[in-house]
Amino acid sequence: MKFWVFLWVVAPFSSALFEEEAGQLDFHIATTGHGPVQVAYAIHDAVITSNPDSCYTASRNIGDGSLLWRHNVCSSTTGKGHAMAVGSKYVTTLDDNGILRAWHAENGLLAWDVVVVSPNCTPRLGVVTEKNEDYVVASCGGNSYSYFHMATGALAPEKSGRITDVKPVTFCAEAKLLLNFQGSALKVWDSANGNQDSLAVEWEASSETDPIALVTFLKCSATVAHVLISTQRGTTKVIAIEEKEITTLWQAEEGLSTISVGSLVDASHYVGGEGTSHDLLSLPNRLQSQWKAITSIFTTERSDRRNHLFGFVKIAILMSTSANRIWALDTIDRNIRYQIDLPEANWHRLVHGGPGTGYHGDHGDYLALSNIRNEQLEWICWDGPTGKLLQKGAIQLKSPVAQIIPVETSSTDCRQGALILTQDQSIHSIPSSDEVTIPESGLYTHVVDKENSIKTLLLRGTSRLTMGSTVFDGEKIISLAYPPRQESVQSPCSVMGDDSLLLKYLNPHLAVFITEKVSSYKDDEMVSAMFQVNRKPVGATDESDSMEVSVPSTKPNLFINVVDTVSGQVLYRVSHANAAKFPKPQAVISENWIYYTFGNSKTRRSELGVLSLYEGMIGSKGVTAFTSPEYSSTFSSLDARDSKPVVLSKLYSLAKPVSALGVTTSRSGISSRRLLLATVDGQITGVDRKLVDPRRPLGQLKDSEKKEGLRPYTELIPIVPYMTINYNQTVESAHTVISASTDLESQSLVLAFGGPDIFFARTSPARGFDLLPDSFNRPLLSLVVAALLVTVLVVDRMAAKKMKKQTWL
Amino acid sequence: MISSSKVSFIRILLILCLSSAVAAAKTLEGRLHFTDGLAFNLTSRIVLNHGEIATYSRADGSFALYNVPPGIHQLDVFSSVYHFPQIKIQLLEDESADPKCLEYLYPGAKKQFAKYPLVLTAMAKYEYFEPRRGFSIFSLLKNPMFLMMGVSVILMFWMPKMMEGLDPEEREQMKKQMELQKDPSKMLGQLFSGMTGTEEIQSKKKM
């Protein structure tokens, strides 16, 4: 009961959507989740697709490509692949844990499931038809087969019929067409008997860098044939061939399910030519914009002026390492503006911004680095909003890359550069050493070495000075977080309820390293416990017994380390016991706050740790007209006295485990920030910062704390549905949540990706105080104003008449 | 100091123990239904320990989690539409013993025993959208601007009628006061004269 009352109290603080607004300020891209299609089979008006190396099976409508259903068919987080077989009404999947499932092909509902064998299965499936009944044949490797009736799941005796599996259909007897492909070209042959009689159509289905991997007929009749084309990088197309004319019905980018890194770049082109955003947000321009909005009601033209005026137009630059591709997604019209194919490489990195710029950069240029082989690095530089290629090149390194430092260049072509620091401590510049140089004062950087140590360096000219190093002995770095570059901070201090000030610790060279204990035989409690002689339970000792009773202690296995990346020293370290490996611990830094989450294997809950860092405090009488405290405006990471912050911390519990963390950002940092939690069940929920404030008192509130708006500490942070920005849509397995500001202080843009779904939304954490809502009734307002004007004129005339009459009398 | 041969022996022993734990893996069964008892016919993902082991509910609402090792597990139903309780399950190594289950209706609720096979009820529907309040005359009355406007309109119609009901002498007095109000200096003079008594002297002189 108390929980629901608490929700009722918290709910008014939420800025929930109205139902008709859903889909207006956000969009959701659902992919099949399996990447490039390797298996495709048509049933009625749907095509069932999958990839044996992934855990997903999905169904799309052949006509318009809409996703009908999608399932993760693996039974555990360690699952890596599955096999699929299709009958007349059912789709069966067998995962590598030996679980066989049958799904209704039409709607994806689970019909039945059964265990074939124990885990460690190499799944193989086939279908055999006997007396018009489909039977699925399952095998986990070897020559052992199990037969199940596809409709009911009942175990059946061995069948003598021919076992078929899903293979591409390349011959259409009705249309007398044969398909094959070469590179990126689709070839359609006239074929009476399955031979290549004559070439009917040759069509460039994709680009040279993205050759075709699979073609298959989906539907086929004498007049029209539907063909599915899948490329190596995950582009799926369905085309219709009618009288040798090819029409593309739809196209989907399945590679979007493997996005590893993303960034939002501004693409708002100011209307009316040149002008700063300050001019365009002036009153006359805003009034003009409102007038255009009113007149646009009577036209069918959609006004994009507001989106450009307020900086809502962003391009999401999304890179997939496994698909070797970059996509640019327009967040307004939700289309892919362009895509760039990268060479196949060991890794790719996206570089944007620099030490003196914001995270989303002052310019829109991007750099992509690809490590091909033997330390050969290829790079391209392009304009983010348009996709125009600016420069490209390649460099040969002598040793592996240790760190990539984004810098701005003096070049007029490509404004984004990078300094590549290799393990042998040599520096390479991209685009070139003339355009990218190390500043005379030097450049501080750090290198993460051997997964458990950090070394900080000062690069100055040709010298490489080691500033410091930290080794996490017996631990392994599993996650790290950096503060957002040049985040807008509205105030350097927090005002408390008693008018005293807490000075925020705003160190731009902060980083959070999450480490976990690596077990070795030295630390193995069970081993040492087995060799303890005369071990007695607690309380069982005699007076004469001199042995100490050992009580099993829970040693911490997760450590949160706040490190200064200039000096290399650990500013703060906190440890936690019983930390679970799944989901992976996450951390995010915003202003002087650090949020981190991890799973607790003992309580089976997720925990949210919040650290707020302060330089110090000034009392309520400390700053007056006549007195001011001693304060230095400069800060040195190398001064041990100054660099250590005062840390306030609190631990909260969450009802659901978290797969990604994010924080909303705003233009000037005035709007209250909201913590975004992407939970494993596919929800992205906002939590107000006041709810997770480390200063929430444990006991009763004092007057000053009430004045500040603090609430008593409660362990559990509720997940409020009103605060869920993706409402009833599922964003499965998101591993990154990023945020960007707009030209309006109240509006913040959020992008979540990493799994089969991509979600983008425009939110207002402090409600839209500087923006009329889209649903604002402008016609009604105009009508009321006009009616009032008419009323005033009429009443004025009536009053004048009455006065005249009275005077006359 | 522990020798490496002893460590190897212990590791082999541990592997044997683990493999026997795998052999003791069980199947957990249950079903989902709506509050009215009807089977929950929306295929939903059901997970143990936040996804370590997962399955789906069938069209008739039943589900089965396979290869679950002994120990304590947490069962969740991933549904974006309905809220289901959480279940903590203790699975013993003894194959004949039923799992012990505790149900938490919502996060932070008191635990209560749950029967096995599990029966989970879709307790409530998530409300993601704020209901738009329709037009109501009472909402207008809550608006202070509307109240001020309303009072002004009422006075506008009521004041003339009130004036008609006044005596001629009182009406004259009101007219004089209204004339004074036009000139603030006269009004202030009248106020101060009232305090000093000059008005009484002047009226006595007249008499």
- Which DSSP string do the residues of A373-419 spell out, in sequence order? STTEEEEEEEETTT--EEEEEEEE-SS-EEEEEEEE-S-SS--EEEE
| Assigned token pair, A305 | 């002026």
Residue A533: the pLDDT is: 43
Q: Are A373 and A346 in contact (CB under 8 A)?
A: yes
pTM for this entry = 0.85
Q: Is the pLDDT of residue B199 over 80?
A: no
**B58/A110 touch (CB, cutoff 8 Å), yes or no:** yes
Q: Is the pLDDT of residue A362 over 80?
A: no
Q: Please list every residue in chain A whose beta carbon sits closer than 8 Å to the beta carbon of residue B55.
A: 75, 99, 113
The pLDDT of A346-361, averaged and rounded, is: 75
In a domain, residue B203? The reply is no
Q: Which of A194-198, A296-300, A670-674, B145-149 has the lowest mean pLDDT?
A: A296-300
In a domain, residue B16? The reply is no
Residue A543: the pLDDT is: 44
Q: Please list every residue in chain B whose beta carbon sits closer than 8 Å to the beta carbon of residue A526.
A: 10, 14
The alpha-carbon gap from A683 to the nearest alpha carbon of chain B, in Å, equals 8
Alpha-carbon span A739 to A751, nearest angstrom: 6
Q: Are A483 and A508 in contact (CB under 8 A)?
A: yes
Q: Which among A10, A95, A99, A523 is the top mutation candidate for probing chain B, defined by the most B β-carbons within 10 Å of its own β-carbon?
A: A99
* Whether residues B120 and B149 fall in one domain: no
Q: How do residues A574-612 score in pLDDT, each as one tens digit?
A: 999 999 888 899 999 999 999 999 999 888 889 999 999
Alpha-carbon span A159 to B28, nearest angstrom: 31
In a domain, residue B42? The reply is yes
Q: With the C-alpha atoms ordered A58, A62, A67, A68, is the resulting torsion angle positive or negative?
A: negative
The alpha-carbon gap from A727 to the nearest alpha carbon of chain B, in Å, equals 5
Domain borders along chain A are 2-19+777-807, 32-216, 475-520+555-622+640-742
Q: Is the pLDDT of residue B179 over 90?
A: no
Residue A581: the pLDDT is: 85
Q: How do residues A70-90 score in pLDDT, each as one tens digit?
A: 999 999 888 889 999 999 999
Q: Is the pLDDT of residue A796 over 90?
A: yes
Q: Is the pLDDT of residue A442 over 90?
A: no
What are the two backbone dihedrals, phi and then psi, of residue A487, each rounded to the nearest 5 degrees? -70, 140
**B80/A22 touch (CB, cutoff 8 Å), yes or no:** no
Alpha-carbon span A593 to A590, nearest angstrom: 5
Q: Is the pLDDT of residue B186 over 80?
A: no
Alpha-carbon span A767 to A599, nearest angstrom: 32
In a domain, residue B107? The reply is yes
Q: Are B41 and B122 in contact (CB under 8 A)?
A: no
The pLDDT of A772-787, averaged and rounded, is: 82
Structural domains in chain B (count): 2
What are the two backbone dihedrals, phi and then psi, of residue A126, each rounded to the nearest 5 degrees? -150, 170
**Residue A647 bridge partners (DSSP):** A613
Residue A77: the pLDDT is: 85
The pLDDT of A674-697, averaged and rounded, is: 94
Q: Which B-chain residues 139-168 have CB contacts (< 8 A) with chain A?
A: none
* Whether residues B150 and B58 fall in one domain: no
Percent of chain A with pLDDT over 70: 89
Reference A564, options A615, A505, A510; nearest CA is A510
| Assigned token pair, B145 | 């601007």
Find the closest chain A residue to B64 by CA distance.
A113
Alpha-carbon span A143 to A141, nearest angstrom: 7
* Whether residues B31 and B113 fall in one domain: yes
* Whether residues B159 and B186 fall in one domain: yes
* Whether residues B113 and B143 fall in one domain: no
* Whether residues B105 and B68 fall in one domain: yes
In a domain, residue B143? The reply is yes
Residue A144: the pLDDT is: 84
The alpha-carbon gap from A515 to the nearest alpha carbon of chain B, in Å, equals 21
| Assigned token pair, B186 | 């006269």
Sequence-distant (6+) residues with CB within 8 A of A699 are A712
Query: Domain ends where: B95, B125, B155?
Result: B125
For A137-146, which contacts have Cβ atoms below 8 Å and span 24 or more sequence positions? Answer: A137/A85, A137/A163, A138/A92, A138/A94, A138/A100, A140/A94, A140/A98, A140/A116, A146/A116
**A582/B72 touch (CB, cutoff 8 Å), yes or no:** no
Alpha-carbon span A497 to A706, nearest angstrom: 7
* Whether residues B112 and B178 fall in one domain: no
* Whether residues B90 and B31 fall in one domain: yes
CB atoms within 10 A of CB A587: 22
Residue A273: the pLDDT is: 44
Q: Please list every residue in chain A whose beta carbon sits closer than 8 Å to the beta carbon of residue B22.
A: 118-119
Q: Is the pLDDT of residue A524 over 70?
A: no
B72 touches A at CB < 8 Å: yes
**A521/B88 touch (CB, cutoff 8 Å), yes or no:** no
* Whether residues B98 and B164 fall in one domain: no
Sequence-distant (6+) residues with CB within 8 A of A540 are A549
**A76/B52 touch (CB, cutoff 8 Å), yes or no:** yes
Query: Domain ends where: B125, B147, B175?
Result: B125
The pLDDT of A383-389, averaged and rounded, is: 91
Most confident of the ranges A48-62, A267-281, A481-495: A48-62
Select the more confidently predicted residue: B125 or B13: B125
Q: Are A459 and A447 in contact (CB under 8 A)?
A: no
Most confident of the ranges A167-171, A352-356, A484-488: A167-171
Q: How do residues A700-739 score in pLDDT, each as one tens digit?
A: 888 888 888 899 999 999 889 999 999 999 999 999 999 9
**B45/A72 touch (CB, cutoff 8 Å), yes or no:** yes
Sequence-distant (6+) residues with CB within 8 A of A445 are A403, A405, A421, A456, A457, A459, A565
Q: How do residues A627-673 score in pLDDT, each as one tens digit?
A: 777 777 777 788 766 668 999 999 999 989 999 999 999 999 999 89
3-state secondary structure of A699: coil
Query: Domain ends where: B125, B146, B163?
Result: B125
Residue A770: the pLDDT is: 86
CA separation (Å) from A616 to A593, A629, A630, A648, B42?
Answer: 15, 11, 12, 11, 55
B62 touches A at CB < 8 Å: no
The alpha-carbon gap from B73 to the nearest alpha carbon of chain A, in Å, equals 8
Confidence of residue A537 (pLDDT cuts 50, 70, 90): very low
**B81/A16 touch (CB, cutoff 8 Å), yes or no:** no
Residue B201: the pLDDT is: 54
Alpha-carbon span A645 to A642, nearest angstrom: 8
The pLDDT of A518-541, averaged and rounded, is: 49
Q: Please list every residue in chain B whose beta carbon sits closer than 8 Å to the beta carbon of residue A656.
A: 76
Most confident of the ranges A19-33, A40-54, A116-130, A285-299: A40-54
In a domain, residue B8? The reply is no
**What is the rounded average pLDDT for all residues in chain A?**
86
Find the closest chain B residue to A117 by CA distance.
B67
CB-facing half-sphere around the CA of A268: CA atoms within 13 A:
21
Q: Which among B127, B130, B164 is the top mutation candidate for probing chain A, defined by the most A β-carbons within 10 Å of its own β-carbon?
A: B130
Q: Is the pLDDT of residue B93 over 50?
A: yes
In a domain, residue B59? The reply is yes
* Whether residues B85 and B44 fall in one domain: yes
- CB-nearest to A727 from B67, B73, B128 is B128
Q: Please list every residue in chain A whose beta carbon sits closer than 8 Å to the beta carbon of residue B109.
A: 3
The fold of A32-216 is Lipocalin (2.40.128)
* Whether residues B100 and B183 fall in one domain: no
The alpha-carbon gap from B185 to the nearest alpha carbon of chain A, in Å, equals 28
Confidence of residue A315 (pLDDT cuts 50, 70, 90): very high
Domain extent at residue B29? 24-125
Q: Please list every residue in chain A whose beta carbon sits closer than 8 Å to the beta carbon of residue B73.
A: 604
The alpha-carbon gap from B200 to the nearest alpha carbon of chain A, in Å, equals 35
Provide DSSP, B73-85: EEEEEE-SSEE--
Select the more confidently predicted residue: A292 or A319: A319
* Whether residues B102 and B69 fall in one domain: yes
**B14/A680 touch (CB, cutoff 8 Å), yes or no:** no
Alpha-carbon span A674 to A749, nearest angstrom: 12
Counted across chains A and B, CB pairs separated by less than 8 A come out at: 127
| Assigned token pair, B74 | 């947490």
Q: Which of A281-285, A750-754, B30-34 has the lowest mean pLDDT?
A: A281-285
Q: How do residues A26-45 score in pLDDT, each as one tens digit?
A: 999 999 999 999 999 999 89
In a domain, residue B1? The reply is no
Find the closest chain B residue to A17 by CA distance.
B129
B50 touches A at CB < 8 Å: yes
| Assigned token pair, B121 | 């009820």
The pLDDT of A259-286, averaged and rounded, is: 70
Site of tokens 């500087």: A770
The alpha-carbon gap from A292 to the nearest alpha carbon of chain B, in Å, equals 27
Q: Is the pLDDT of residue A547 over 80?
A: no
Any idea what the CATH number is for the domain that residue B55 is in?
A: 2.60.40
Q: Is the pLDDT of residue A760 over 80?
A: yes
3-state secondary structure of A456: strand
Q: Which of A205-214, A274-283, A471-480 has the lowest mean pLDDT?
A: A274-283
B135 touches A at CB < 8 Å: no
Residue A679: the pLDDT is: 95
Find the closest chain B residue to A3 by CA distance.
B108
CB atoms within 10 A of CB B27: 11
